Amino acid sequence: MQTERVIRAEVTIKAGVEEVWQAWTTAAGVKTFFAPTCNVALQVDGPYEIFFNPEAEPGNRGGEGVRILAFQPYTMLSFTWNAPPHLPNVRRQHTHVLVRLNELTPNQTRVTLTHDGWGEDEEWDQAFAYFSRAWSGVVLPRLKYRFETGPVDWNNPPRFSE
3-state SS, residue 161: coil
Give the number of domains in the chain.
1
**How many Cβ atoms sit within 10 Å of the Cβ of residue 77?**
22
Has this prediction a pTM greater than 0.85?
Answer: yes
Query: Rounded CA gap, 25 and 141, in Å?
Result: 18
Q: DSSP for 18-46, please give it.
A: HHHHHHHHSHHHHTTTT-SEEEE--STT-
Tell me the pLDDT tens digit for each residue of 119-148: 999 999 999 999 999 999 999 999 999 999
Element (DSSP H or E) covering residue 146: helix 140-148
Q: What does the pLDDT look like over 89-110, one tens digit per residue?
A: 999 999 999 999 999 999 999 9
Query: What length is written for the chain?
Result: 162
Asked whether residue 143 is assigned to any structural domain, the reply reads yes
Residue 114 gets which letter from DSSP? E
Assigned domain for 161 exists:
no
Report the percent of the chain where pLDDT is more than 70: 98
pLDDT in tens, 13-69: 999 999 999 999 999 999 999 999 999 999 999 999 999 998 989 888 999 999 999
Domain contains 113: yes
Residue 83 within a domain:
yes
Give the range of the structural domain holding residue 125, as residue numbers without chain letter: 7-148
Provide the CATH number for the domain around residue 108.
Answer: 3.30.530.20
